[in-house]
Amino acid sequence: MPFGVRRTELVILGVSAGAFLALSLLFATAMWYLWRESIAAEAKVVGRLASTLGARTEAMILDTRNLLETFDELPYPRCSREHLQALQDAVIARPYVRAVGYFRAAERTCGVGFLQARNVKPPKADRIYESGVVAWWPSPHTEVGGLQLFLMRYGDHDAAIDPRVLIDLGPLEHRQAGLWVEKLRLTAAPADAQLPRPDDVPIGVTIDRAAGRVVSRFSRSGVLPIDIVAIEPLSSFWDRHVQTLAAASGAGLVLVAVWTYGLMRYTRRQLSPASLLRRALARGRIHAYYQPTVELATGRCAGAEVLARWKMKNGDVVEAASFIPVAETAGLLPDVTRAVLDAPLGELREFLRESSGFRLFINLSAADLDNPRFSEWLDRRLKSSGVPARAIGFEITERALVNTDAARDTIRTLRARGHTIAVDDFGTGYSSLSYLSSFELDVLKIDKSFVDAIGTESATSHVIVHVIEMARSLGLRIVAEGVEREDQARWLRDHGVDYAQGFLFGPPLPSADFAELASRRKEAA
């Protein structure tokens, strides 16, 4: 295609790249969103875990504190059987209380539970509350049998609490978690977990890429401030969410590919010559140009061949030879014919009505001939414009004639109405003389290649003589095409050719220029 091929490719490339970019951006946004969702999901899980842990811890602390208060109010003599029984009952009822002791001043006098043998006296209390509650957070000083206890004393009793029971491992999955009360570490799971302090971690879920882990912190401020810090290796976090992410990215990539491919296909079709031609037809960009046909004897302008021209948006004019093959393969030839027929009936109407003996030749394709509705349409158009049928002739290529009964009928009909039928490009096909004679024809147009050969020694130069003789024998008038030199015109005139067209007489012209040339030639005659 001579027209806009490179531009078309560039447009397709540009559109595809743009679409790919836009979709990739969309895809990236979606991935980012999913990633955020994964983090939000993590925050939800750990948040729920933290709120359970926090509530449980607070309940445990308050319960212990109240328990100690009730112990001081027991009506039994201290260290009596009833007293110890009451303590025992309370310890057994609570999974986290390991022991309860009764003290006189700083000395444990009696008690129940598992810590009978040893007096635990940490050198420094972590908290002494206004109310008189003393609390010792788990430390080596509160360790008994390898277990660091949380101790609480109020009044004359103390309780030893096993903080491990606060965090159950089940819901943690791959996480490690720690529990801080009043910013003091109460417990962790596993016990030796290396966890950052709550104050070193922002609240919520944080991706700590440097350390390759996901750090979550949730804080709760009830009676006492409670912090929960959970860490998880980035790899296991990734493992948990990778399925969603992978599925989403797979779907996303497929979507991008399909979309890009579809858009490319669509764009290619939109920018294909056929589509462009279809659009040009719809928008009236196919124009008629007129190339004069001159009577060789007189030099009078006896008619013209109507040629289709595509005036592109950028001002370029594309010749019929360039787009007729496209129209042919796309089945658009009838539309081109129609456009080319419509044009003169509009712009040259007056001229055609007034000039008798003037004849416009319009090229018909095999598709036109096969279409039975063509002649009806033509008839209607001629009647509405008032142009007589004899003013319009049709050129049919030798190849289009090699055809069917329908074509034969159309030709007969047209001829019956008064249209002149010419056989175009004669000599380029393989039709024999007898075959040609089976059609009802009026004019034979000699192809430019024969005219070019005039005055040369080539083999073709002799053929034209025979063509002329043959046309005469069939009673056909002859039009020579592509006459460019005066000597060719002379030769043709001398050999009895009636009409000629070519650059010698005038190129294909727009209607206005042609009308002017035709009237000048008339005068010349």
Partner 1 sequence: MHRALWRPGMVVATMMVLGGCGSKDRAVVTPPAAAAEPAPQPAAPPMPEPAPPPPPAPRAPAVLVVKPGEFETTWAARRQTLVGAGRRVSPDEIGYYMDVQQARLQQIGGHWLSVIRKGHRVQLSLPGRWSFKVGSAELSSTAQSALSSVARVLADYCLSLITVHGHTDDSGDPAFNQALSERRALAVAKHLVSEGVALDRVLVVGHGAAKPLASNASEDGREENRRVELQVDPLTDTSLVPVRRPDLQVRQSPVRRPDL
Interface ranges with partner 1 (CB under 8 A): 61-62, 65, 78-79, 103-107, 109, 121-125, 128-135, 153-155, 182, 223-225
Q: How many CA atoms lie within 13 A of 140 on its CB side?
A: 0
128 vs 465, which CB is nearer to partner 1?
A: 128
Q: Closest separation between CB of residue 116 and partner 1, Å?
A: 17
3 vs 103, which CB is nearer to partner 1?
A: 103
Tokens of 263: 């858009």
In 3-state terms, what secondary structure has residue 331? coil
335-359 burial, b if ≥16 CB within 10 A, otherwise e?
Answer: bbbbbbbebbbebbeebbeebeebb
> CA angle 352-353-355, nearest 5°?
65
Decide if 140 contacts 115 (C-beta within 8 A). no
106 vs 210, which CB is nearer to partner 1?
A: 106
Decide if 500 contacts 479 (C-beta within 8 A). yes
The DSSP call for residue 149 is P
64 vs 375, which CB is nearer to partner 1?
A: 64
Q: Closest separation between CB of residue 182 and partner 1, Å?
A: 7
How crowded is residue 23: how many other Cβ atoms within 10 Å of its Cβ? 19
Decide if 323 contacts 279 (C-beta within 8 A). no
104 vs 197, which CB is nearer to partner 1?
A: 104
Q: Closest separation between CB of residue 146 and partner 1, Å?
A: 21
Q: Closest separation between CB of residue 109 and partner 1, Å?
A: 7
69 vs 328, which CB is nearer to partner 1?
A: 69
Cα separation of 276 and 201, whole Å?
A: 64
132 vs 202, which CB is nearer to partner 1?
A: 132
Cα separation of 245 and 32, whole Å?
A: 10
Cα separation of 428 and 432, whole Å?
A: 11
Q: Closest separation between CB of residue 61 and partner 1, Å?
A: 7
- Between the alpha carbon of residue 278 and those of residues 47, 272, 332, 482, the distances in Å are 64, 10, 7, 30
Q: Closest separation between CB of residue 127 and partner 1, Å?
A: 8
Q: Closest separation between CB of residue 101 and partner 1, Å?
A: 11
- Between the alpha carbon of residue 352 and those of residues 26, 251, 355, 420, the distances in Å are 62, 66, 5, 15
Tokens of 234: 């980035």
Q: Closest separation between CB of residue 145 and partner 1, Å?
A: 20
80 vs 404, which CB is nearer to partner 1?
A: 80
Q: What is the DSSP string of 227-256?
A: EEEEEEEHHHHHHHHHHHHHHHHHHHHHHH
Cα separation of 148 and 126, whole Å?
A: 14
The DSSP call for residue 69 is H
Q: Closest separation between CB of residue 60 and partner 1, Å?
A: 12
Q: What is the DSSP string of 469-508?
A: HHHHHTT-EEEE----SHHHHHHHHHTT--EEESTTT---
CB-based burial of residue 140 (10 Å sphere; 0-12 exposed, 13-18 middle, 19+ buried)?
A: exposed
Q: Closest separation between CB of residue 119 and partner 1, Å?
A: 9
106 vs 459, which CB is nearer to partner 1?
A: 106
156 vs 379, which CB is nearer to partner 1?
A: 156
Cα separation of 439 and 415, whole Å?
A: 11
78 vs 412, which CB is nearer to partner 1?
A: 78
Q: Closest separation between CB of residue 129 and partner 1, Å?
A: 5
83 vs 419, which CB is nearer to partner 1?
A: 83
Q: Closest separation between CB of residue 27 and partner 1, Å?
A: 50
Cα separation of 319 and 518, whole Å?
A: 22
H or E element at residue 266: helix 234-270
Residue with tokens 């001043």, as numbered in its chain: 105
58 vs 513, which CB is nearer to partner 1?
A: 58
Q: Closest separation between CB of residue 256 and partner 1, Å?
A: 56
Give the dihedral sign, CA 111/115/121/125. negative
227 vs 498, which CB is nearer to partner 1?
A: 227
Q: Closest separation between CB of residue 124 and partner 1, Å?
A: 5
Decide if 443 contacts 479 (C-beta within 8 A). yes
